[in-house]
Amino acid sequence: MKKALILAGAAVLALVACNKNPETDQTPVDFSQYKIRVEPVITRVTETNFENGDAIGVSIVRKAGDFASNAQFTYDGTAFTGGLNWYEDGEEACTLKAYYPYKEGEALPTMFTVQQDQTKGTASSDFVSAVKENVLPSANAVSMVFKHQLSRLVATVKNNTGAEIESIVFEEFVPVANIAADLTAKVADGAKWQPMKPFFKDGTYYLIVPAQTVKPVVKVTVGGKELSQKLAEANLEPGKQYSVSIVVNKEEIKVVLAGEIENWNDGGELEGDFKENLEEGYFTYAGVKYSVVKMQDGKWWMAQNLAYLPEGCTPATDLSAVTAGVFAPLKVNADQSGLEFTTDEAVVAANGYLYQAEVALGLNVGDLQNVAEAEALEGAQGICPTGWHVPTIDDITGLVGKAVSPIPTNAEAPYYNGSNGSIALLNADGFNMAPVGAISIQDNTKTAGTFMGWNTKYPDKITSSMLCGSSYAGVTYNTSGDETSGVKNLQFFGLMPMTNKDAEADFTCNGTKVSYRIAGPVRCVRN
């Protein structure tokens, strides 16, 4: 079925003939002399109408049962016909069911699988069907409205690399659908997703998949390099199409909103897992909008803490969960005697979650086994969005100037006040830094953590935090100095804001060493 952009006309009426003239009381017509013909109408077509030689499967159901089951009908340019005549009784109504593309067999299909590789066209993957009830035998063709039962992605690509796009692959889509008795389709439960290649025509990519709830991944290979982008979860509905606009840069791809697309029923856009709008000072990541700001160091920083939950993670609210990876945020308890966990959504939005270093850097707790692996994480994207990374020690000293030994002070840093990195200076430029606490777990031998960030002199507020970084800072072993005894603790350089002073002008934010099992907030920096 080749396709051309057309729309169906208005309503269609089935033309039926009476078996008896009430005025003359003539003998009933024997309709078995007439061939069954189906006149197709496709609503909001893919790319087209049916063409000569296209085949559909037809079933005709009477009260007594099937008169025909999956009979092959072929299109002649006007209607579908086969070697099947009507039954004799013109007063007995029936139900007609028809589908495309035809699949040989004795019964209508109960399963349909789209092509994984649709680069040669989508026609064989476009399952359309029609059901019409109360049909009487007739010398005329029966008009049937065919509807798309699957979903379609329509992708446009802006290539900023200067190199040729070698391939585009969509992942996480299940290609198998179950077909119900009414010829509607539903994604097959338990079926595995497969990588799928779209059809390219006139600057646009097309992919047909069963309707499903999915978190798609788009992979683009350009100049020999594979770039990928995860999209936000989408609920694809039958008969609807969804637009995706892909921007390909040298080091990343980004999904942005596309314009309205005609034909099919418009299901809207598949919005990227990450959408960046620097002009308006924000990005949207996994459905959450974060403020960002370009600081005087020339870099874009998050102006709030990350509140992203990696897949499979549940924020811990138990200090004994020393390998949880992610902890809930903290607040001062009701009697202002210390800190406690909170799951309040407002606090999560304001303060973000607390991450152990391995999770912040894109790993699982327990993955890091040696110094070389820790050193390799310098500048890692980790749980940050595409194009952003967990801060390095150069990012930190370039911003605030001061860090712990052996890092030299950068007196030229824009937010160094001559003694320390200054929260007042940072926040005057929109950094919005405020301590939110941390979970102190000194090393991997500890079976419980403690709350960090509260002291009796300032009982109504949290006074410190330890933000995660990606630059390796140090190691201790189970036996001091003996590498063969195994790692006890690894450290990374991070940021430590402190407000344990009476005057805001004295609040500090310097580089520090953070043990890899400590759980602290994350702020990402743009590459």
CATH number for the domain harbouring residue 98: 2.60.40.2620
Quickly count: other Cβ atoms within 10 Å of residue 387's Cβ: 18
Distance CA 322, CA 335 (A): 26
State yes or no: pLDDT of 43 exceeds 70: no
23 found inside a domain:
no
Position 275 confidence tier, pLDDT thresholds 50, 70, 90: confident
Same-domain pairing of 156 and 130: no
With a cut of 80, say whether residue 524 has pLDDT above it.
yes
pLDDT at 406: 96
pLDDT average, residue stretch 16-42: 62
Q: Which residue has the higher pLDDT, 266 or 30?
A: 30
Cα dihedral 308→311→312→317 (10° resolution): 0
- The per-residue pLDDT for 11 is 30
Would you list the DSSP string of 348-378? HHHH--EEEHHHHTTS-TT---SHHHHHTTT
Our CA angle for 219, 304, 299, nearest 5°, is 70
Tally of domains in the chain: 3
Band the pLDDT of 271: cuts 50, 70, 90: low
For residue 126, what pLDDT is reported?
A: 93
Whether the per-residue pLDDT at 247 is higher than 70: the answer is: yes
Q: Is residue 399 assigned to a domain?
A: yes
Residue 373 lies in a domain: yes
pLDDT value of residue 5? 28
**Same-domain check for residues 108 and 224:** no
Provide the sign of the torsion angle of the four alpha carbons 48, 49, 50, 56, taken in this order: positive
Question: Which of 210, 237, 272 is at the close of a domain?
Answer: 272
The pLDDT score that the predictor gives to residue 269 is 63
Domain boundary among 212, 243, 272: 272
* Residue 6: inside a domain: no
pLDDT at 259 over 60: no
| Segments forming the whole domain that contains residue 508 | 292-526
Question: In the chain, pLDDT over 90 holds for what percent of residues?
Answer: 69
In a domain, 38, yes or no: yes
> Looking at the structure, do residues 407 and 453 belong to the same domain, yes or no?
yes
> Using CA atoms in the order 62, 63, 64, 68, what is the torsion angle rounded to 10 degrees?
20
User: How does residue 10 score in pLDDT terms, banded at 50, 70 and 90?
Assistant: very low
Domain with 185 in it: what CATH number? 2.60.40.2630
The 10s digit of each residue's pLDDT in 342-392 is: 999 999 999 999 999 999 999 999 999 999 999 999 999 999 998 899 999
User: Where residue 422 falls among pLDDT bands split at 50, 70, 90?
Assistant: very high
pLDDT-based confidence at 253, cuts 50/70/90?
A: low
Q: What is the pLDDT of residue 21?
A: 41
Residues 18-33: what's their mean pLDDT?
57
Least confident of 284-288, 459-463, 484-488, 523-527: 284-288
Q: Are residues 247 and 353 in the same domain?
A: no
Report the 10 Å Cβ neighbour count for 21: 11
pLDDT tens for 188-214 read 999 999 999 999 998 899 999 999 999
Cβ within 8 Å of residue 353, ≥6 positions away:
305, 306, 307, 308, 309, 315, 326, 327, 328, 329, 521
Q: Are residues 35 and 142 in the same domain?
A: yes
Chain-centroid distance of CA 38 in Å reads 41
In this predicted structure, what is the pLDDT of residue 19? 37
Residue 282, in any domain of the structure? no
- Name the pTM for this structure: 0.56
Q: Where a domain ends, among 113, 131, 148?
A: 148
Report if residue 280 sits inside a domain. Answer: no
- Verify that 142 and 167 share a domain, yes or no: no
Q: What is the C-alpha separation between 224 and 227, in angstroms, rounded? A: 10
**Runs of H (alpha helix) within 305-361:** 345-351, 357-360
Is 392:398 a contact under the CB 8 Å cutoff?
A: no
- Looking at residue 315, the DSSP 8-state letter turns out to be -
Computed over every residue of the chain, the mean pLDDT equals: 88
Q: Say whether both 312 and 454 belong to one domain.
A: yes
The helix (run of H) or strand (run of E) holding residue 393 is helix 393-400
Nearest to 249 by CA among 162, 368, 353, 344: 162
Judgement on whether residues 122 and 200 belong to the same structural domain of the protein? no
Confidence of residue 311 (pLDDT cuts 50, 70, 90): confident
Q: Dmax over Cα atoms in the chain, in whole Å?
A: 112
What's the pLDDT band for 83 if we cut at 50, 70, 90? Answer: confident
pLDDT above 70 (res 12): no
Mean pLDDT confidence for 234-259: 72
Residues 440 and 459 in one domain: yes
Question: Distance between the two ends of the chain, CA-based, in angstroms?
Answer: 47
Q: Are 221 and 242 in the same domain? A: yes
Exposed (0-12), middle (13-18) or buried (19+): which is 217, by Cβ within 10 Å? Answer: middle
Residue 77 has a pLDDT of 83
Asked whether residue 57 falls in the same domain as residue 82, the answer is: yes
Give me the pLDDT at residue 469, please.
Answer: 97
Q: What is the distance, to the nearest Å, from the Cα of residue 454 to the centroid of all Cα atoms in its chain?
A: 38
Judge if 67 and 201 occupy the same domain.
no
pLDDT at 245: 83
* Any domain includes 286: no
